[in-house]
Amino acid sequence: EVQVVQSGVEVKKPGDSLKISCRGSGYSFPSYWIAWVRQMPGKGLEWMGSIYPGDSNTRYNPSFQGQVTISADKSISTAYLQWSSLKASDTATYYCARSFAMDVWGQGTAVTVSS
């Protein structure tokens, strides 16, 4: 079964760093793009960026460029989304999904940033 499984809930303070993960299984992880999608409370879906784990080619939404870093380790079939200094406005649920056409989604990682 093709799956992507995300890391768990995070509660952080403003200024903290954070790295969340997305592990793929049941398919050739290096061969499919992984997308990251943000959903702020009560709001719609926003594409943040995507990475091709085979060669780490990464594309960012200009709205998120410089705010987050997307990376991947194909040896452990895992993609990452990281922040160096969180803000309260980063409070959201973050999803990863396989491929540009986002056929398989992770369960989401809820991130709360509050002092």
Partner 1 sequence: DIQMTQSPSSLSASVGDRVTITCRASQGVKYDLAWYQQTPGKAPKRLIFAASSLQSGVPSRFSGSGSGTEFTFTISNLQPEDSATYYCLQHNDYPLTFGGGTKVEIK
Given the rule CB under 8 A, which residues bind partner 1?
A: 35, 44-47, 50, 59, 61-63, 95, 97, 100-108
Minimum distance from CB of 30 to partner 1 (Å)?
Answer: 20
Residue reference for tokens 């990281």: 82
Nearer to partner 1 among residue 37 and residue 72 (C-beta): 37
DSSP state of 39: E
Minimum distance from CB of 19 to partner 1 (Å)?
Answer: 20
Those residues whose C-beta lies under 8 Å from the C-beta of residue 40, and which sit 6 or more positions away, are: 46, 91, 92
Minimum distance from CB of 23 to partner 1 (Å)?
Answer: 15
Nearer to partner 1 among residue 75 and residue 79 (C-beta): 79
| CA dist 24 → 80, 103, 105, 106, 114 (Å) | 11, 13, 10, 9, 30
